[in-house]
Structure 1
Amino acid sequence: MSMSETPQLLVMKFGGTNMGDAAAIRHSASLAGRSLAAGVRVVVVVSAMAGVTNQLLSIADAAEKGDIALANDQIAALRTRHFTAAQELGAAPDSSVSREIRELLETLRQAVYGVYLLRELTPRSKDLIVAFGERLSAPLMTVALERWGHRAHHLTGGQAGIVTDSHFGSARPLPSAAGRIRDRLSGLLDAGVTPVISGFMGETEKGAVTTLGRGGTDFSATIVGAALHASEVWAWKDVDGVMSADPRSVPGAQNIAQLSYGEVMELAYFGAKVLHPLAVTPLQDAGIPLRVKSAADPDFPGTLVTGDAHTDGVHPVKAVTAIRNVSIINVSGAGILGVPDVVADLFAALARENITLLMVSQSSSMSNVSLVILGSDEERTLAALTPPMGGRQLQVDVQRGVAVLAIVGAGMRGTKGVSARLFGALAGDDINILMISQGSSELNISVAIEGQDVDRATRTVHGAFGLDAPVAAD
C-alpha cells in the first residue's frame, strides 16, 4: 500500500517542561501541528504542567497531617495557574474548558478534604489526587491545538482505554488495554480529530484511577503507540535526545544517535531521567521505533530507539549514568552460611514490600549478601529484614551516602578489556569501588562508589571511553 492509503500515525508525548505555561503549551501544540499539517495523524499524550505533580503530592501530605489550610492554599494556587494558562491560550472564562477546569479543581478539593477527615492517605487516594495534574493539563493542550486550527478532543487515561491492574503508584497495563485503546481512539482519528490523552494515569476494571509510576507519561505514550500500531512514538523533551551522560555533571556529554530497546531500558533503570524504565517494553514486540526529540530544535533527529543495537566497534560503551542517594545493605551472620533458602527468604521479604534492588552481590562462601537499594527505601528494607529468617537471626549493616555508576552499551558484549578500562580509570582517579555487578547480557557494568565521588567518577569514565565531544579548534 502507498503512504496515502495508510496515513502515517505518530504518538507524541510532551513532558512537564514542555507543558510549563501557556507559551510552552502553545509551542508544543505547534510541534504536533507541523505533522498534522503534513497529513500525518497524531495522538498527543501530555504530562502535568511542570512542578504540579510534586505540588499535588505536598497537598495530599498536608491533608493527611491535618493542615487543610495549607492544602487549600495550594489548590488555590493550582487554580490560578491553570486558569491563567487557559485564558492566555484563548479560552473564555465561560468556555467549556474553563468550566471543566473549575469542576476538576472542585473534585480535587473534595478528595483532599476526605484525606483530611480520615487523616489517612492510601495508595489509592494518592493516585486519585496526583493524577489531577494530567487531567488539568490535557484541556489546555486541546485549546492550544484548536487555536492552531486543528480539531482535538481530550480524554483521561482511563477514557482512552488504558486499563491497568490495581498496583496503585506503579500500575501495569492489562492485556485487554490494546483493544480498548483502539476502540476508544480509532473513531476520533478517522474523523480527523486529534486525541489528547492525560498521561501517567489509567484506571482499573472497576474504574479506580491508577498511576504508572514517576515518568509514566512516557509509558502511556508507548502503550497507546503499540495498541494503535503507530509508525513511531516521539517523546518531546527539553534536551537534544538521550545523552552520553548527564550534561550537568559532564560538560562534554553528547547526544546518542541510536540505541536499542535493551540499552535504553538499562539507562533508564540506572538513573538516566530521559525515559520511564518500562517505556519501550510495549514497543518491542511490534518493533515500533521510539524517537527522543528536542522541543527547542525540532529538526534535530534526536535519539532513535529500535531493536538494533548499532555498535560501531570503536565505542563499546555508549553512556555513563549514575543513581545517587543509595544505600548498601550487608546481610551476614552464621545463620546464612551455606543455607540457600536464606537468600530466597531475603528476596521474598523485599518483594512483599515492593523494594527495588539496584545491585545484588553474594560471596562465594555464602556468608554474606550485599544489596543496593534507594536511600528512600532504607527504612522499609530494614523493617522487612528485621524478623529472623527461618528462625535464624541475621546481622544487617547499612552503608549510606553511596552512588551507583553504570556504563551501558551493547558493544561491550564480547569486547575484551572493557572492565579493565573502567576499573583502571576509577583507580587512576583514586576512586574507591565498594561493590561490582555485571549481568550476563553484558549490556552494563555497575559499580557502587562513595556518593561524594560520583560527579568526578562520571567525568573520568566518560572520558576514558572516548565519549567526550571533540573540542573545536580555534
Structure 2
Amino acid sequence: MKVFKFGGASVNSVERIKNLTGIVKQYQGEQLVIIISAMGKTTNALEKVVEAFYAGKKEEALQLFEIIKNQHLTTAKYLLVTHYNACAAQLNDFFTEVEWLLHDKPVREFDYYYDQVVCAGELLSTCIISHYLNQEKIPNQWADVRDIIRTDDHFRDAGIDWHYTTEKATQCWASVTASHNILITQGFIGSTDENESTTLGREGSDYTAALFANILNAESVTIWKDVEGVMNADPKKFPDAQLISELNFNEVIEMAFYGAQVIHPKTIKPLQNKGIPMYVKCFLDPSLPGTVIHKKNVKNLPPIIVVKENQLLVHLNSRDFSFMGEAPMQQLYSIFAEARVRPNLIQTGAIGVQICMDDKQDKTEQFASMASTLFDVQLEKNLQLLTIRHYNEPLVATMLEGKEVILTQKTKETVQIIFKI
C-alpha cells in the first residue's frame, strides 16, 4: 500500500484535478491512501471568513463564505455529470456546518473558530475529487478524517491521540479494502473527543500522510508538488536553485527545523520510526525522478538555503544583573510552552538572551507580556533570518552583500544570520 498526498496547488483548477486523476490511473490496481489539501487559496479565503466573523462582521463573513461556496459548486459542475447531485448534497452539508456557526456570536477564543471554519476547505476538495474519481471509473471510498484522527484541544496546533487514531485508521482501512483499493480523505484536520474540529498546523497535510503511513505500514509516501523535487533553495527566490535527488531523514528534519517549506516539521518522525521512504515528485510531470528521502547516509550535499521573512528579535535582560543561569532559562522555556511559540534562534549572554522568532502579532504580544514579568523586554522588528546548511564562505559573503547584519551564529555545518530588511 502507498500513501499519496496532493497539495492545494495540485487541485486548484478543473485541469489540475483531471491531471491528478491521470496520475491515480497509473496506479490502478494498487492500494492507495490519498490525502488531499484544500483547493488553491481556499484556506486563505476561509481565514478571511474567520477574521470577519470574530470581528463581529457577520454579514461580511457570510458574503465571503458565499464566494467560496460558489467556487466549489462551479468546479463540481464543470467536472461532474452523473455524480453532480450526490456531490452537491454532500457539499451543502459542509456549507451548513460552517454557516450554522457564522450565524452565532463568538464567545470562545479565535483559534477555536479558526479550526471549525478552516477545516471545511479539505472536506470540500476531497468531496468533489472523490465523486469525480468514481465518475471516471476509479472506485474509491471517501472518509471524514475527523472520525479517524483524534486530537487534544490545542486548536490550530493539535496533538495526536495515537492509540485512538491507530484503532480508527486500522478499522477504516479494513472497511475500504473489503470493497475498494483507494481511500480518499483529508489532510491537516482532526477532531477532539467532543467532536470539535481541530487543525494540525499549517502544511499539516504532510503530517497526516505520515500518520496513515506509519499506522498502516505503508510501502512509501509520495508528496506531489509543483516543483520537480526538493530544491536546495526556494526557486521563487533563487532562480538557480538545484534539485537534490536524495536526502536522509536527519537532513530533512534539520531543513524543516530551520524553516524550509518543502516538508512539514512533524512529518519525518512517523516515517523514520518505521523506515518508510518518502518521495517528493512533480505532479506537472510525473515522469521526473523527484527526490527520495530515506534513512541511508547521503554525502556531498550542496549548500541548502532557507530564508525566513517577517522575523522579530526579542532582547531579554536581567533586571538586577543576575546571570542567565538555569532558573531564568527554565522560566523562559515555560513561557515558550505557555505562549505556544517556537524560537528560531537563541543567543545567550551573561545577563541577557536574544530570541529570534516569527513575528505573529497575537503570539508576539502575548510572549512579550509574559516575559516582561521576569525580564526587561525590547523588540526589534522587520528582520530576516538566513540559514545555510553546508555553507561556504564565498556563498555567505554573496548572500550578505549590502545587508546590515544584527546577529550571527555558526557551527561547522550551519550558519544563521539575522539582518535588517
Question: TM-score by structure 1 length?
Answer: 0.83
Partner Cα distance (1:379, 1:147) in 2: 51
Q: Deviations over 1:126-145 (max 9, x none)?
A: 21111000111111111221
For residue 350 of structure 1, what is the amino acid of its counterpart? F
1:279 aligns with 2:267: yes
Q: What SS does the aligned partner of 1:158 have?
A: helix
For residue 178 of structure 1, what is the amino acid of its counterpart? T
After superposition, where does 1:107-118 map in structure 2 within 5 Å? Answer: 107-114=97-104, 117-118=105-106
1:332 aligns with 2:317: yes
Contact (CA 8 Å) 1:25, 1:140: kept in 2 or not?
A: no
User: 1:95 Cα deviation (Å)?
Assistant: 2.1
Partner of 1:445: 415
1:126 aligns with 2:114: yes
Contact (CA 8 Å) 1:145, 1:152: kept in 2 or not?
A: yes
1:165 aligns with 2:152: yes
Partner Cα distance (1:30, 1:322) in 2: 35
After superposition, where does 1:409-420 map in structure 2 within 5 Å? Answer: 412=390, 420=393
Partner of 2:26: 34
1:433 aligns with 2:405: yes
Q: How many residues align?
A: 417
User: 1:380 Cα deviation (Å)?
Assistant: 2.2
For residue 102 of structure 2, what is the amino acid of its counterpart? V
User: 1:423 Cα deviation (Å)?
Assistant: 5.0
Partner of 2:33: 43
Partner of 2:55: 65
Partner Cα distance (1:179, 1:91) in 2: 37
Q: Deviations over 1:193-219 (max 9, x none)?
A: 411001111112332211101001111
Partner of 2:244: 256
Partner of 1:344: 330
Q: What SS does the aligned partner of 1:371 have?
A: strand
Partner of 2:14: 22
Partner Cα distance (2:31, 2:183) in 1: 10
Q: Deviations over 1:309-346 (max 9, x none)?
A: 4113xx4x441111011011111245253252122222
Match of 1:375 among 353, 359, 368: 359
Partner of 1:155: 143
Match of 1:209 among 189, 194, 197: 197
User: 1:292 Cα deviation (Å)?
Assistant: 0.8
Partner Cα distance (2:343, 2:27) in 1: 41
User: 1:187 Cα deviation (Å)?
Assistant: 2.4
Partner of 2:183: 195
1:291 aligns with 2:279: yes
Q: What SS does the aligned partner of 1:25 have?
A: helix
Q: Deviations over 1:271-300 (max 9, x none)?
A: 322221111121111010111110111011
Partner of 1:75: 65
Partner Cα distance (1:201, 1:353) in 2: 22
Partner Cα distance (2:207, 2:358) in 1: 22
Q: What SS does the aligned partner of 2:315 have?
A: strand
Gaps of 5+ in 2: none
Q: What SS does the aligned partner of 2:274 have?
A: coil
Q: What SS does the aligned partner of 2:46 have?
A: helix
Change (3 A) 1:361 1:23: same
Report the identity percentage: 23
- Give RMSD over aligned pairs: 2.1
Bigger mean CA offset, 100-109 vs 265-274: 265-274
Gaps of 5+ in 1: 1-8, 413-417, 452-474
Contact (CA 8 Å) 1:64, 1:120: kept in 2 or not?
A: no
Partner Cα distance (1:449, 1:120) in 2: 38
User: 1:29 Cα deviation (Å)?
Assistant: 2.0
Question: TM-score by structure 2 length?
Answer: 0.93
Partner Cα distance (1:75, 1:92) in 2: 27
1:137 aligns with 2:122: no
For residue 164 of structure 1, what is the amino acid of its counterpart? T
Q: Deviations over 1:54-80 (max 9, x none)?
A: 111111111122222211112211121
Partner of 1:86: 76
Partner Cα distance (1:284, 1:16) in 2: 25
Partner Cα distance (2:324, 2:65) in 1: 54
User: 1:89 Cα deviation (Å)?
Assistant: 1.4
Contact (CA 8 Å) 2:2, 2:220: kept in 1 or not?
A: yes
User: 1:347 Cα deviation (Å)?
Assistant: 2.1
Partner Cα distance (2:143, 2:273) in 1: 26
Contact (CA 8 Å) 2:83, 2:131: kept in 1 or not?
A: no
For residue 281 of structure 1, what is the amino acid of its counterpart? K
Partner Cα distance (1:359, 1:144) in 2: 46
Partner Cα distance (1:193, 1:10) in 2: 11
For residue 198 of structure 2, what is the amino acid of its counterpart? T
Partner Cα distance (2:377, 2:195) in 1: 42
Change (3 A) 1:17 1:423: closer
For residue 99 of structure 1, what is the amino acid of its counterpart? A
Change (3 A) 1:370 1:197: same
For residue 130 of structure 1, what is the amino acid of its counterpart? V
Q: What SS does the aligned partner of 1:277 have?
A: coil
Change (3 A) 1:262 1:336: farther
Contact (CA 8 Å) 1:87, 1:93: kept in 2 or not?
A: no
Q: What SS does the aligned partner of 1:370 have?
A: strand
Contact (CA 8 Å) 2:324, 2:348: kept in 1 or not?
A: no
Change (3 A) 1:426 1:89: closer
User: 1:426 Cα deviation (Å)?
Assistant: 5.1
